[in-house]
Amino acid sequence: MKLPTCLSIAVASLCSIQMLSAQQLSIAGKVTNANGEPIAGASIFVKGTQTGTASNENGLFNLNAPSDGTLQIRAVGYAPLEVPIAGKTNFNVQLQQVDDAIDEVVVTALESKGIQNP
């Protein structure tokens, strides 16, 4: 009779540990450049999921993520960054500008003609 009781306790303990490791957190943060200026429109995603958001005009963002997840932050002209959540709920992320950012943009257009019936 002792073995089933011990087994039940072990299973319950493992389930509790699993629930704690996958706990959802409300994450908030700010994305800035090297000068501390906010980066608007940065993409913030939870790695391996489709959960994500974008920073607002003040560089601020909010999203729900697992406590053991990783944030992926990207913005045009900046090096991407991955930050482990590790149970934290507030992040101040500083992105580094990439020197080989877009130097020029080429715009092309194709002419479109409609056919008229006589």
Q: Is residue 34 part of a domain?
A: yes
- pLDDT band at residue 62 using 50, 70 and 90 as cut-offs: very high
Q: Is residue 117 part of a domain?
A: no
Q: Domain of 57? A: 20-94
Number of domains within the chain: 1
Burial (Cβ within 10 Å: 0-12, 13-18, ≥19) of residue 95: buried
Identify residue 115 by its one-letter amino acid code: I
Q: Is 3 part of any domain?
A: no
Give domain status of residue 99, yes or no: no
Question: Which pTM value belongs to this model?
Answer: 0.67
Query: What are 36's two structure tokens?
Result: 């501390």
Query: Is pLDDT above 90 for 108?
Result: no
Pairing of strands 90-94, 24-32: parallel
Residue 61 sits in a domain whose CATH number is 2.60.40.1120
Place of tokens 């960054």: 81
Per-residue burial over 23-54, b if 16 or more Cβ lie within 10 Å, else e, is eebebebbbbbeeeeebeebbbbbeeeeebee
Average of per-residue pLDDT across 33-60: 96
Residue 78 lies in a domain: yes
Do the domain assignments include residue 89? yes
Q: Answer yes or no: are the C-beta atoms of 95 and 78 closer than 8 Å.
A: yes
Q: Which residues pair with 82 in a beta bridge?
A: 72
Domain for residue 109, yes or no? no
pLDDT in tens, 65-94: 999 999 999 999 999 999 999 999 999 999
Instruction: Report the Cα–Cα distance between both ends of the chain, in Å, rounded.
Output: 94
Is residue 90 in some structural domain? yes
